[in-house]
A = this chain, B = another copy of it.
Amino acid sequence: MIQVTLIQIDNYGPWTVTPKPRRESDLQVLQSRLYEDLNLLFGAHKGLVFYTRFDNLIAITNGIDLLTHKRIQESIKNRYPFTVSMVIASAETAYEAQKLATKTLQEYGSAQDENRKEILDVANSLVSDGYVQIAHIDINNITGTFTDIISAYDTYLNVNKVKLLLMEELLKYNALLFFIGGDNYMSPCNGMTEEDFIKIFDKIKNKLDIELKAGIGIGETAEDAANLADIGLEKIRGKLVDKNVCFLRDDIIKLKPKKFCGLQ
């Protein structure tokens, strides 16, 4: 089971244009700072937040209790010109969990209902004995094949094409996909296998002629999983494994250090 928290700024759209449209650079700073603060505050408890649409953010929060959520919600209220609502949900996959969380939040009223403020609720239950599986995906040698050769915007366009294809393919497995900068993507992907990723990467290779690789990690928290995914990616980069996907999990690493990633 994975635990997801949906975070939504309360009645944000109307605020941005009241009494007249607010300066765009200020809004970008404001949204960006909210994302940053949420990552610091959830990160302090080994959670991980994705900026998503900036006014609607999705966090992986296994191991983080309701009281901690409440403290974070208060901290935002204490320092921002708006408040946020949060709903926590758990499910076998991140997609199902965020769907449950959204449904519960919607039942409290519209995102633009000015009376709906600072909702904090749990859609079903918190996860006590679950796990987080995260894939850290990147583009093979983007610096050599894109960044140093074609224009910055063309590289960016390619990164977005890959992103949308990954989103569509991963959704078939109820996995989510977020862009995390550079040529990097992260996917909360509980239940998926190495083979699933290899198939998806082949498809994208055929369609866009862009090669991907992924470290996949499993851990008790988002941070643990992401750390292992990073290590997996480093193993592929260092050619310590012979394929483009490397799957690591805490217990395997602890018990059989030489046996993971398909190596014997």
Mark each residue of chain A from 223 to 239: 1 if its CB lies under 8 Å from any CB of chain B, else 0: 10011001101100000
What is the distance, in angstroms, from A45's C-beta to the closest C-beta of chain B? 7
Known contacts being A28-B36, A36-B33, A156-B56, is A75 close to B23, with CB within 8 Å?
A: yes
Partner pick for A81 among B26, B80, B163, B168, CB 8 A cutoff:
B80
* A95 close to chain B: CB less than 8 A: yes
Complex Cα–Cα for A78 and B81 (A): 8
Question: Chain B CB within 10 Å — which of A20, A74, A79, A102 has the most?
Answer: A79
Q: Is B149 within 8 A of A52, CB to CB?
A: no
Copies of this chain assembled into the complex: 4
Known contacts being A25-B43, A44-B44, is A56 close to B155, with CB within 8 Å?
A: yes
Number of A interface residues, CB 8 Å?
92
Known contacts being A24-B226, A29-B36, is A156 close to B41, with CB within 8 Å?
A: no
Identify the stretch in A179-187, A189-197, A199-207 within 8 Å (CB) of chain B at 4 or more residues. A179-187
Known contacts being A143-B13, A180-B24, A234-B17, is A32 close to B32, with CB within 8 Å?
A: yes
